[in-house]
Amino acid sequence: MSSHVRARWGALALVAALGFGACSASATQAPAAGGGGAAPAGSAAGAQAVDYSSVSPSTTIGKNDKAAVTGAGSTAIYPWLSAVAQIYQQQVAPGVAVNYQAIGSGGGISQFTAKTVDFGASDIYLSDQQEQQIGVPVLNIPMIHWAAAMTYNLPNFSGEIRFSPATIAGIFLGKITKWNDPALAADNPGVTLPDIGITPVHRSDGSGTTMNFTSFLAGTDATWKSQVGAGLSVNWPVGPGGKGSAGVTALVKQTPGAIGYVELSYALQNNLPVGSVKNAAGNFVKPTLASTTDAVAAAVPNAPADLRFLVVNPPASYPNAYPIGASTWVLLYQDYPASKATEVKAMIDFLWWAIHNGQNYAAQVDYSAMAPALVTKAEAALKSVTVGGKPVLP
Amino acid sequence: MSGADGTLAGAARLPGAGIPPRVPGRNMARRRTTDRVMRALLGIAAVIAAVPLVLVLLYVLVQGLPALNLALLTQAPVPAGFPGGGVAPAVVGTLIMVGLGTLIGTPIAVLAGIYVREYAGGRGATLIRFLVDVLAGVPTIAIGLFAYGLVVVPMGSFSALAGAVALAVIIIPIVARITDEMLGLVPGSVREAAYALGIPPWKTIVRVVLPAASGGIVTGILLGVARIAGETAPLIFTALGNDRVSTALGEPMDALPLRIWVYASGPYDSWHAQAWAASLVLVFLVLAFSLLTRLALRRRGAART
Amino acid sequence: MTAQVGAVRAELGRHRPRFGEPAFRGLVVLASLTVLAIIAGLVVVIATTSMAGIAHNGIGFLWGTTWDPVHSVFGALPFIYGTLLTSITALILSMLIGVGVALFLVELAPSWLAGPLGFMIEMLAAIPSVVYGLWGIFVLAPWLRDYVEVPLHDTLGWLPFFSGYPIGIGNLAAVVVLTIMVLPTVAAVSRDVVSAVPGSQREAALALGATRWETIRMGVLPYARSGILGAGILGLARGVGETMAVTMVIGNSPTISLSFLAQGYTMASVIANEFTEATTNLYRSSLIEIGLLLLVVTLVINAAARLLVWRVAYTASSRSLAA
């Protein structure tokens, strides 16, 4: 627990330091240095941090912006997005207030479709059908990667639990009801599992985490595929539902014997254990920055031009990749009305900063930064946004 | 009501006194036992009913007090999982939306109350009273759906205005009913005196009757304010919530009950602490308002006789 | 004399524009019509926004057991069931306690006790729902799990009502929270109804040598019966429509289970949880359809209860307004 708590405090100290008059030059340096020092012990990938200042020479692009930007969606991205939004306001653009409501990816897509927000955020890209429903051209811009961790609550149990996909499917289908079930015992040879009931906790709201998690199960377990399938919200056979990543984490934390799937930082920030999951290569892999980055590495080369791709079930050629990786996309309209010019410029400037400097904060809150190749594609997408037909960025 | 057991005093004065009193027989002991047991059970019911209030208040106080400080009320929320921060956007939002909701709802409610008591005939009064009562029983979540369809969809965005409209709908029946009752307490002679002077009914109401009932009506409004200040369900898809202090009526806005819901459902200890502290603030406000108004109402001998 | 009166009239008339009376009358009528318009608007707005759902789901919506937004299969039965299970159980409990409290306050308690106690129960209604939810999550649910559900499960687990794994969050927690929240309504209305029973009823019974309980049972209760029934129906309406506290403790699982240890979902709580997250128009529309169902049910229940209570004690309804 202590290492994560320290990481949190370290990041906070950083926020505070940046808030109190750090100049922009030191600001671009500080995160990398601070990130290295404060990175959680469990996340060795901190060392792989890319120096994004070389990718992005301009850090003060939006310093004169003054607007309130409204976004809604993914709860998985919330810890990172809320942190970078606050740092951005303190460090770069005091006039820009990003109001992000973490209501779930489903909600993000729905509000974005209803055009009630400036941007949406979703842990799953928009489907063709969803894009069609919106009626105007839209962009899916990846922001950050993360791992959907299997987190659980076993009182007086300090070991680490390993899960094969079939076991996870069995638990969430209600077929495995005890922690000492033979299937779990087979995954965990030599571990004395407690004799208490399993309570599988799922998301009650539309969720990209659910989409990634169920896509992973549908891709590995035939029963799951035929009985439940994959989606933002599915017809759960058993177990209580929590609202948002926070709600699932809270339920797991409060319920002995519970297991749930959440974005990694929710588990780590709340001192909950996370299990390893068996990947295509047959290895049990813990969700870490390194194993997530590996999963992303497997997916990025195949990322299409429209940036719609999944990072679940990486092939066996990536033996250390965590099998339930995920990304969060920011959803933008290709063209905004001219009346929104101020907000849109502030928003695009912020997102530009977020895909560059903002990536430096990823490791501190247990996310994986985007690969440089993907950042370049995201840049191109951001540059294509227009207001009244005119590009926002030069 | 005097005497514990069946006393026969005054029996002669009662109708049916011709029936000879039953002589306590052999089963009197059993009857007395039954009586004691049942009375004890009724007493226990009363104790059971009072326990939850004590428990809830106790927990809110004990859990909320340590996290209650100035920062809680003056600072915006910090990113999830970080320590510190506060619920300032929720405090501001609750003040604005409850204020606006009261401003929208109260005039309608008071005027409707006046109609029922002063203008409507027997049937009209009964109908409007009935409608007011029915409106009071509509689930607040349905009122939220109504405000969503009425305000959010046409405006194209979640807004404080939509939240205020939902709260206004909730306060209307509360204030309308109390206005009706308070006007009923103003003696008819006051009106007659005014009419005798040739003052027309509407002026009598505005200048004479309404001022006489104003104390009661104001306490009724406060009671309504206390009620809507604690509402969550109608704000979920109208006001939506906001991490930043916002005063724009066309933008999403935070509210204390919404913030408590989000924080209570989350995993962070800092959120839980702030949810308890925010609850303490809310409960204090709501109870203080209710307490004052009910005491005031009771003094007027109004709803209670 | 007549001249003087005429002068006074004239004097008063100067301050009285002719249109004053009709204008004010129009204003108050308009306000009353607004109340009517709101109720009509509630039904119309909610009905029209749920049209897409009604068209897609058909009548089978009412007994469909599957709630599967991914495949656009929307059945409301799990929510209807959850609502009925929790609110009816809570109603029974709160009727037992609430009528007991009402009788105690009116018939037995000395006034120094009746006043404060009645006041406390009224305050129970003033506490916001979300605060009950907060208390439910962190205090009630863990306590229920450790001291009620585990023993129940261990001893009576073979009964379908107590099967499943006890985790605190679930139907039982929802029932307890709802009981607390319905209680003030039932107690307040019952108290008014019992108070309205004429003293002669009691005196007559006492005169016949009845004990205090016999007086209540034979003199008071029969007289107050329909009013207490009304109190119960009002309580039911409150329980059915209650949202936040239930949402926070029931576990949000659209399954139909007899077990009080299982997790459930109610009509109000599925709307609260899923509305802002609904991904498609059809999904949102189906949620609003549940809202329409909830609205119609509560309107009918309320109307019935008001009519019953009105017959007995008109002023009673004012108290329950604050509830």
In this complex, the chains that touch B, judged by 3 or more CB pairs closer than 8 A, are: A, C
Give CA separation, C61 vs A235, C83, C170, C255, C272, in Å: 16, 16, 24, 15, 19
Are A18 and A79 in a shared domain?
yes
Are A180 and A233 in a shared domain?
yes
CB contact under 8 A, A99 and B262: no
Indicate the helix (H) or strand (E) that contains C259.
Answer: none
Q: Tokens 């724009």 appear where?
A: B248
H helical segments located in chain B: 28-64, 70-74, 88-114, 122-136, 140-147, 153-155, 160-185, 188-196, 201-203, 210-229, 256-265, 269-299
* Tokens coding A218: 């549908």
Q: Which whole number is the average pLDDT over A161-171?
A: 96
First to last CA, chain B: 15
Strand-pair partners of C67: C74
Query: Residues of chain C whose pLDDT is less than 70?
Result: 1-18, 311-323
The pLDDT of residue A138 is above 90: yes
Q: Which residues of B touch A78 (CB under 8 A)?
A: 80
Q: How far apart, in whole angstroms, are the C-alpha atoms of residue C203 and residue C310?
A: 25
CA distance A39 to chain B (A): 15
For chain A, what percent of residues have pLDDT higher than 90?
A: 48
Q: Which whole number is the average pLDDT over A49-78?
A: 69
**For C21, which of B116, B202, B303 is closest by C-beta distance?**
B202
Q: How far apart, in whole angstroms, are the C-alpha atoms of residue C291 and residue C285?
A: 10
**Residue of A6, A86, A204 to mutate, interface with B, max B Cβ within 10 Å:** A86
Indicate the helix (H) or strand (E) that contains A260.
Answer: strand A258-263
CB contact under 8 A, C253 and A103: no
CB contact under 8 A, C68 and A232: no
The one-character DSSP state at A42 is T
Q: How far apart, in whole angstroms, are the C-alpha atoms of residue A127 and residue A232?
A: 12
**For C278, which of A110, A198, A254 is closest by C-beta distance?**
A110
What's the CATH code of the domain at C132? 1.10.3720.10
In this complex, the chains that touch A, judged by 3 or more CB pairs closer than 8 A, are: B, C
Q: Which residues of A touch C252 (CB under 8 A)?
A: 204, 240-243
Residue B65 CB: number of other CB atoms within 10 A?
Answer: 12
CA distance B282 to chain A (A): 23
CB contact under 8 A, B268 and A270: yes
CB contact under 8 A, A246 and B268: yes
- Region of residue C107 (left: phi > 0; alpha: psi -120 to 50; beta: else): alpha
Please name the residues in contact with B293: beta carbons below 8 A apart, sequence gap of 6 or more.
B219, B220, B222, B223, B226
Residues written for chain B? 305
Indicate the helix (H) or strand (E) that contains A99.
Answer: strand A96-102
Residue A280 CB: number of other CB atoms within 10 A?
Answer: 18
Q: Which residue has the higher pLDDT, C135 or A204?
A: C135
Indicate the helix (H) or strand (E) that contains A101.
Answer: strand A96-102
Please name the residues in contact with B83: beta carbons below 8 A apart, sequence gap of 6 or more.
A8, A9, A12, B270
Interface of B with A in 175-204 (CB under 8 A): none
Are A9 and A114 in a shared domain?
yes
Are A236 and A113 in a shared domain?
no
Q: How far apart, in whole angstroms, are the C-alpha atoms of residue A178 and residue A195?
A: 6
Do residues A338 and A361 touch, judged by C-beta distance below 8 A?
no
CB contact under 8 A, B232 and C129: yes
CB contact under 8 A, A255 and C263: no
Give me the DSSP letters along A117-170.
SSEEEESSPPPHHHHHHH-S-EEEEEEEEEEEEEEE--TT--S--EE-HHHHHH
CA distance B54 to chain A (A): 24
Q: How far apart, in whole angstroms, are the C-alpha atoms of residue C289 and residue C283?
A: 10
pLDDT, tens only, C193-226: 999 899 898 999 999 889 999 999 988 999 898 8
In this complex, the chains that touch C, judged by 3 or more CB pairs closer than 8 A, are: A, B
* Range in A147-161, A211-225, C25-39, C61-75 with the lowest mean pLDDT: C61-75
Q: Tokens 């299997």 appear where?
A: A150
* pLDDT on residue C11: 55
Q: Which residues of C touch A240 (CB under 8 A)?
A: 167, 169-170, 251-253, 263
Are A236 and A181 in a shared domain?
yes
Interface of B with A in 264-293 (CB under 8 A): 265-268, 271
CA distance B209 to chain A (A): 47
CB contact under 8 A, C251 and A240: yes
Do residues B238 and B152 touch, judged by C-beta distance below 8 A?
yes
**Residue of C233, C249, C318, C320 to mutate, interface with B, max B Cβ within 10 Å:** C318
Are A171 and A137 in a shared domain?
no
CA distance B226 to chain A (A): 27
Q: Is residue C179 part of a domain?
A: yes
Please name the residues in contact with A208: beta carbons below 8 A apart, sequence gap of 6 or more.
A74, A76, A104, A105, A106, A122, A123, A124, A232, A326, A328
Are A94 and A196 in a shared domain?
no
Where do the domains of chain B lie, and which CATH numbers do they carry? 87-255 (1.10.3720.10)
From the list B292, B181, B286, the residue with the least C-alpha distance to B232 is B286
Q: CA of B227: which chain C residue's CA is closest?
A: C126
Q: How many CB pairs under 8 A join A and C?
A: 101
Res. B3 pLDDT band, cuts 50 70 90? very low
* pLDDT on residue A35: 33
> Backbone phi, then psi, for A71, in 5-degree steps?
-135, 160
Q: Is B80 on the interface with A (CB under 8 A)?
A: yes
* pLDDT on residue A232: 81
* pLDDT on residue B4: 40
> Backbone phi, then psi, for B250, in 5-degree steps?
-90, 0
Angle between helices B256-265 and B88-114 (to 10 degrees): 130
CB contact under 8 A, A197 and C165: yes
CB contact under 8 A, C131 and B279: yes
Q: How far apart, in whole angstroms, are the C-alpha atoms of residue B62 and residue B73?
A: 18
Q: How many CB pairs under 8 A join B and C?
A: 338
* pLDDT on residue C9: 56
The one-character DSSP state at C216 is I
Interface of B with A in 101-120 (CB under 8 A): none
Res. A22 pLDDT band, cuts 50 70 90? very low
Are A141 and A80 in a shared domain?
yes
Q: What is the bridge-based pairing of β-strands A138-152 and A258-263?
A: antiparallel
Residue B214 CB: number of other CB atoms within 10 A?
Answer: 12
The pLDDT of residue B7 is above 60: no
pLDDT, tens only, C163-192: 888 889 999 999 999 999 999 999 998 998
CB contact under 8 A, B49 and C16: no
CB contact under 8 A, C120 and B50: yes
Q: Tokens 């990786």 appear where?
A: A325
CA distance C150 to chain A (A): 12
Do residues B271 and A79 touch, judged by C-beta distance below 8 A?
no
Q: Is residue C142 part of a domain?
A: yes
Strand-pair partners of A151: A260, A274
Q: How far apart, in whole angstroms, are the C-alpha atoms of residue B144 and residue C46?
A: 10
The pLDDT of residue A165 is above 80: yes
Are A152 and A293 in a shared domain?
yes
The pLDDT of residue A204 is above 90: no
Q: Is residue A321 part of a domain?
A: no
Q: CA of C249: which chain B residue's CA is closest?
A: B265
Q: Is residue C28 part of a domain?
A: no
Q: Is residue C33 part of a domain?
A: no
**For C321, which of B136, B229, B291 is closest by C-beta distance?**
B136
Are A129 and A177 in a shared domain?
no
The pLDDT of residue A130 is above 80: yes
Q: How many CB pairs under 8 A join A and B?
A: 83
Displacement of CA A174 from its chain's centroid (Å): 27
Q: Which residues of C touch A237 (CB under 8 A)?
A: 255
Number of domains composing chain C: 1
* pLDDT on residue B303: 42
* pLDDT on residue A364: 84
Cα angle vertex C135, ends C134, C139, to 5°? Answer: 125
Structural domain span for residue C286: 50-322
CA distance B246 to chain A (A): 9
From the list C293, C237, C285, C306, the residue with the least C-alpha distance to C79 is C293
Q: Which whole number is the average pLDDT over A96-123?
A: 88
Q: Is residue A291 part of a domain?
A: yes
* Tokens coding B296: 């005031």
The three-state secondary structure class of C204 is helix
The one-character DSSP state at C67 is E
Q: How far apart, in whole angstroms, are the C-alpha atoms of residue C306 and residue C295?
A: 16
CA distance A110 to chain C (A): 5
Q: Is residue C39 part of a domain?
A: no
Do residues B102 and B225 touch, judged by C-beta distance below 8 A?
yes
Are A154 and A298 in a shared domain?
yes
Q: Is residue A205 part of a domain?
A: yes
First to last CA, chain A: 46
CA distance B84 to chain A (A): 10
Q: Tokens 């506060």 appear where?
A: B86
For chain B, what percent of residues have pLDDT higher than 70?
A: 89
**For A240, which of C71, C169, C280 is closest by C-beta distance?**
C169
Please name the residues in contact with C142: beta carbons below 8 A apart, sequence gap of 6 or more.
A254, C168
**For B243, which of A99, A103, A253 is closest by C-beta distance?**
A99
Q: CA of A262: which chain B residue's CA is closest?
A: B267
* pLDDT on residue B26: 62
Q: Is B247 on the interface with A (CB under 8 A)?
A: no
Do residues A294 and A322 touch, judged by C-beta distance below 8 A?
yes
Number of domains composing chain A: 2
CB contact under 8 A, B242 and A101: yes
Please tell me whether the overall predicted TM-score, pTM, comes out greater than 0.90 for this model.
no
The pLDDT of residue B65 is above 90: yes
Are A134 and A181 in a shared domain?
no
Residue A239 CB: number of other CB atoms within 10 A?
Answer: 26
What's the CATH code of the domain at A25? 3.40.190.10
Q: Is residue A133 part of a domain?
A: yes
Structural domain span for residue A352: 3-146+327-391
CA distance B54 to chain C (A): 9
**Residue of A15, A18, A70 to mutate, interface with B, max B Cβ within 10 Å:** A70
Res. A39 pLDDT band, cuts 50 70 90? very low
pLDDT, tens only, A262-295: 999 899 989 999 999 999 999 999 999 899 999 9
Q: Which residues of A touch C253 (CB under 8 A)?
A: 204, 236, 238-241
Q: Is residue C31 part of a domain?
A: no
